[in-house]
């Protein structure tokens, strides 16, 4: 006998400023299943889940929600949590200055005789961290964690609430392959215990591996729902984008020139003196796409953010740009030098949520639109913004819309456009397609290749081996703060990269 439905969302419609984000969507989820929700960025996945979880309360949308046999009229997220529904957001919502334990129980402290029961909270935090295979103290401050571990803390928050239905919104976007396997195993264990999961992910291998059914939505509308066992990845992609995708990675015609940037004997230390990067040496050529691979914690982000001047720790060694030594100490200095960077965490470092798409895009390049102290060339500013909206296919109703109203992938495209507007000679991309759907990924890959074809040099950090291999000309691999492998990207396999990333010591650079 088939599982009964735990969730039935009927004819859900949600408007933003007259634009339908959700258009009469109906979705049914069976109890104890892992139900995947797929669609491009802007398709309405996160909006639909915000309706379910009470972030958009009853009365702000039309349609009905039936949960566990009862009609659901959440007035807020606390209502949904009390009914056993938890959501793990794509973007991190943690307080850096609090401990893991305090973040997990924030707003929901365990009390004993009117006092906070720290012992009980510590004990429960230890249990859930152990379940997530995180060998770390509950007292650890969140600011001391990498982004991958922060994502696992978000997951720990949901697991601590003993929810009956958990919504996972891009939970593995920042996780390593090993961490992803841990999470998928946990979701499998939850299914065995009768817990229902709604799993949103652009990583279709994960969808195929973990889900029982897949619902695809496109442009705010329901497209289809099928059993995963009868679905192929190509069929899911076609349903998501409304067309067949050709080769996933664009052809490259970039001409690689002479070395324009060199890093010599480079070391990076964090604020407490721990060495994060050890004696790094590499070069970058004009028009080259240099991929940097490695597991989370390998020192990739520390290396590039230190070069860009935004890492809070200290550094030693040399950076040589166009034959001259440089010592960049801020993002402003880097941009003036001709180096721009798309950060890994767009929410914290890439955007100002309440500002418009236009102002976010031109923020780093305002000087170029200023004709005099009191005059800004708004016509040229808007022309440039609209050109990049078209070029990167950014889905927005207007350039004046607050960027917080865009999907995660479209926010990422705005950050990319912001960095292109300064006309850099080198652009650093830290996880450029994190949380981005398959259609948007292809557009970003095309733009990266076009940058290289224009003679711009690209440094791309990525946790996704297929994209590192798909568009890089050369690849360096980091392991525990050291560059342990270098490869000309010809006949290189994922296994070769992983060997260097895990145990180090492989070099086929041909240099």
Q: What is the pLDDT of residues 125-172, one digit of tens each?
A: 999 898 887 889 999 999 998 777 887 888 888 888 878 999 998 888
Buried b (16+ CB within 10 A) or exposed e, 31-55: bbbbbbbbbbbbbbbbbbbbbbbbb
Average pLDDT over residues 84-102: 87
- Tell whether 418 is covered by a domain: yes
Coarse DSSP helix, strand, coil percentages of the chain, rounded to the nearest 5 percent? 35, 30, 35
d(CA 264, CA 319): 6
Tell me which of 25 and 348 has the higher pLDDT: 25
Do 397 and 465 share a domain, yes or no? Answer: no
Where are any strands of DSSP class E within 351-425?
Answer: 370-372, 375-376
Question: Token pair for residue 50?
Answer: 């915000």
Max intra-chain CA distance, the chain:
74
Do 55 and 72 share a domain, yes or no? Answer: yes
What would the pLDDT profile of 407-462 be if each residue is shown by its tens digit?
777 888 888 888 888 889 999 999 888 767 677 777 788 889 989 999 999 999 99
Q: What is the pLDDT of residue 1?
A: 41
Do 310 and 412 share a domain, yes or no? Answer: no
Average pLDDT over residues 46-67: 94
In this prediction, what percent of the chain has a pLDDT beyond 90? 49
Q: What is the pLDDT of residue 243?
A: 60
Most confident of 22-36, 149-163, 384-398, 420-434: 22-36
DSSP 164-203: SEEEEESTTTT--HHHHHHHHHHHHHHHHTT-EEEEE-S-
Number of compact structural domains in the chain? 3
φ and ψ of 239, to 5 deg: -65, -35
pLDDT band with cut points at 50, 70 and 90 for residue 499 = confident
Question: Token pair for residue 288?
Answer: 């080259």
Do 429 and 419 share a domain, yes or no? Answer: no
Do 239 and 296 share a domain, yes or no? Answer: no
CA-angle at 441, arms to 13 and 154, nearest 5°: 65
pLDDT band with cut points at 50, 70 and 90 for residue 510 = very low
- Tell whether 343 is covered by a domain: no
Give, to the nearest 10 degrees, the angle between helix 408-420 and helix 438-453: 10
Q: Which of 373, 391, 423 is the last residue of a domain?
A: 423
Instruction: For the beta carbon of residue 184, count every other beta carbon within 10 angstroms.
Output: 17
Do 356 and 452 share a domain, yes or no? Answer: no
User: Checking DSSP bridges between strand 324-326 and strand 314-321, what pairing results, if any?
Assistant: antiparallel
Tell me which of 403 and 367 has the higher pLDDT: 403
How far, in Å, are 94, 166, 188 from residue 194 at the CA level? 28, 11, 10
Closest CA to 343 of 415, 284, 273, 410: 415
Do 283 and 352 share a domain, yes or no? Answer: no
Do 18 and 113 share a domain, yes or no? Answer: yes
What would the pLDDT profile of 332-364 be if each residue is shown by its tens digit?
899 899 999 988 776 667 788 889 999 999 887
pLDDT band with cut points at 50, 70 and 90 for residue 505 = low
- Tell whether 264 is covered by a domain: yes
Q: What is the pLDDT of residue 371?
A: 66
Do 170 and 282 share a domain, yes or no? Answer: no
Do 25 and 164 share a domain, yes or no? Answer: yes
Do 238 and 116 share a domain, yes or no? Answer: yes
Give, to the nearest 10 degrees, the angle between helix 408-420 and helix 378-391: 130
Q: Is 372 exposed, middle or buried (CB count within 10 Å of its CB: 0-12, 13-18, 19+)?
A: exposed
Q: Which of 396, 423, 450 is the last residue of a domain?
A: 423
CATH number at residue 234: 3.40.50.300
Q: What is the pLDDT of residue 318?
A: 95
- Residue 75 pLDDT exceeds 70: yes
In this prediction, what percent of the chain has a pLDDT beyond 70? 93
Three-class SS state of 154? helix
Range of the domain at 150: 5-245
Do 398 and 277 share a domain, yes or no? Answer: no
Weakest mean pLDDT among 7-11, 120-124, 181-185, 242-246: 242-246
- Tell whether 473 is covered by a domain: yes
The average confidence (pLDDT) of the chain is 87
- Tell whether 511 is covered by a domain: no
d(CA 504, CA 511): 18
Q: What is the pLDDT of residue 511?
A: 45
Q: Which of 189, 222, 245 is the last residue of a domain?
A: 245
Q: What is the pLDDT of residue 158?
A: 81
Tell me which of 371 and 258 has the higher pLDDT: 258
Question: Residue 199: how many CA atoms within 13 Å on its side-chain side?
Answer: 32
Q: What is the pLDDT of residue 246?
A: 54
- Tell whether 510 is covered by a domain: no
Question: Token pair for residue 344?
Answer: 């890994």
Q: What is the pLDDT of residue 125?
A: 94
Average pLDDT over residues 315-320: 96
Contact 180, 3 (CB under 8 A): no
Most confident of 86-90, 123-127, 500-504: 123-127
Average pLDDT over residues 21-46: 91
Tell me the whole-structure pTM to 2 decimals.
0.61
- Tell whether 275 is covered by a domain: yes
d(CA 327, CA 340): 15
- Residue 272 pLDDT exceeds 70: yes
């Amino acid at each position: 006998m088939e599982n009964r439905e735990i969730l039935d969302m009927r004819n859900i419609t949600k408007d933003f400023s007259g634009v339908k984000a959700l258009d009469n969507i109906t979705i049914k989820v069976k109890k104890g299943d892992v139900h995947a929700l797929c669609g491009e960025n802007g398709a309405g996945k996160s909006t639909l889940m915000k309706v379910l979880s009470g972030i958009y309360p009853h009365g702000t949308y039309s349609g009905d929600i039936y949960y566990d046999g009862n009609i659901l009229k959440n007035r807020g997220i606390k209502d949904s949590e009390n009914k056993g529904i938890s959501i793990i957001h794509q973007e991190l919502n943690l307080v850096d200055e609090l401990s893991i334990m305090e973040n997990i129980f924030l707003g929901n402290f365990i009390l004993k005789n009117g006092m906070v029961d720290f012992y009980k909270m510590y004990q429960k935090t230890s249990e859930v961290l152990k379940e997530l295979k995180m060998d770390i103290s509950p007292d650890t401050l969140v600011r001391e964690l990498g982004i991958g571990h922060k994502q696992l803390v978000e997951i720990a928050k949901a697991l601590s609430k003993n929810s009956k239905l958990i919504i996972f919104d891009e939970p593995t976007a920042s996780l390593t392959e090993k961490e992803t396997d841990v999470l998928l195993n946990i979701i499998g264990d939850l299914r065995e215990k009768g817990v229902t999961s709604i799993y949103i992910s652009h990583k279709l291998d994960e969808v195929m591996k973990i889900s029982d059914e897949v619902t695809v939505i496109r442009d705010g509308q329901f497209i289809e729902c099928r059993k995963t066992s009868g679905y192929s990845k190509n069929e899911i992609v076609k349903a998501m984008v409304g067309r067949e995708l050709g080769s996933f990675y664009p052809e490259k015609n970039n001409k690689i020139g002479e070395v324009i940037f060199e890093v010599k004997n480079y070391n990076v230390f964090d604020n407490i003196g721990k060495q994060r990067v050890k004696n790094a040496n590499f070069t970058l050529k004009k028009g080259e796409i240099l991929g940097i691979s490695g597991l989370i914690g390998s020192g990739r982000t520390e290396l590039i953010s230190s070069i860009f001047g935004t890492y809070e720790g200290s550094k030693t060694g040399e950076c040589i740009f166009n034959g001259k030594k440089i010592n960049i100490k801020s993002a402003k200095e880097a941009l003036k030098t001709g180096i721009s960077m798309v950060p890994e965490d767009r929410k914290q470092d890439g955007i100002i949520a309440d500002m418009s798409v236009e102002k976010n895009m031109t923020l780093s390049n305002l000087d170029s639109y200023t004709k005099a102290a009191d005059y800004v060339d708004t016509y040229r500013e808007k022309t440039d913004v609209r050109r990049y909206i078209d070029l990167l296919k950014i889905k927005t109703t207007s350039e004046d819309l607050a960027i917080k109203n865009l999907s995660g992938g479209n926010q990422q495209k705005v950050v990319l456009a912001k960095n292109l507007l300064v006309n850099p000679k080198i652009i650093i991309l830290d996880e450029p397609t994190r949380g981005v759907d398959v259609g948007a990924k292809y557009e970003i890959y095309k733009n990266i290749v076009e940058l290289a074809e224009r003679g711009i040099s690209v440094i791309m950090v990525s946790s996704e081996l297929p994209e590192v291999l798909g568009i890089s000309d050369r690849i360096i691999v980091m392991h525990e703060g050291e560059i342990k492998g270098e490869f000309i990207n010809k006949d290189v396999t994922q296994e070769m990269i992983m060997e260097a990333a895990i145990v180090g010591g492989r070099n086929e650079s041909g240099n």
